[in-house]
Amino acid sequence: METIKLVYPVEGGDLIEAGEASSKMKLTLKKLGLPQDIIRRASICMYEGEINMVIHADGGEAQVEVDTDQIIIRMRDTGPGIPDVAQAMQEGFSTAGQTARELGFGAGMGLPNIKRYSDEMKIETELGKGTTVTVRIKIPQ
């Protein structure tokens, strides 16, 4: 199989509508016939990343590459950056505001959840420039 490349813009500003990009990716992965648990793990990573992009940055873009043996999801924003990545990775640490909490997020589980469901996770961040979270999910052969 050739590498399939997908790009999903993530709209900023409206947290109530966030999740559209993840829904679309999930449908595409289903059409490709990937195993259900792989689709679920990729969808959760993308969804948490998408929520983060809307809460902390003004949206961004997700690039997804699907190969026979792996899915790479690269979520890039031009938000404020993460001052302390180790702290952000702790379960329960959150800088999200009231709106996010009212919607059931902002409990400091976003990045830890992404790590939980991915095989590899990389965070590149620069204050004032933005953040890119890249995850790799292996597809068992």
Torsion 21-7-130-117 (CA) sign: positive
Counting DSSP H helices and E strands in the chain, the numbers are 5, 5
What character string, x for contact with other proteins (CB under 8 A) and - otherwise, covers 76-115?
--------------------------xxxx-xxxx-xx--
Token representation of residue 135? 């995850």
How many chain residues bind other proteins (CB under 8 A)? 27
Question: Shortest Cβ distance from residue 94 to other proteins (Å)?
Answer: 9
User: Which position among 38, 78, 93, 116 is part of the footprint of other proteins (CB under 8 A)?
Assistant: 116
Q: What is the DSSP letter of 16?
A: G
Told to check if 16 binds other proteins by CB under 8 A, we report yes
Token digits of residue 124: 């590149």
Among 5, 40, 122, 129, binds other proteins (CB under 8 A): 40
Which of 6, 19, 93, 123 is the binder for other proteins (CB under 8 A)?
Answer: 19
The interface region with other proteins, picked from 36-44, 57-65, 75-83, 125-133 by CB under 8 A, is 36-44
- Give 106-127 as a DSSP string: -SS-HHHHHHHH-SEEEEEEET
| HEC letters along 83-110 | CCHHHHCCCCCCCCCHHHHHCCCCCCCH
74 binds other proteins, rule: CB under 8 A? no
In the complex, the residues that contact other proteins under the rule CB under 8 A are 15-19, 22-23, 26, 36, 39-40, 43-44, 47-48, 51, 102-105, 107-110, 112-113, 116
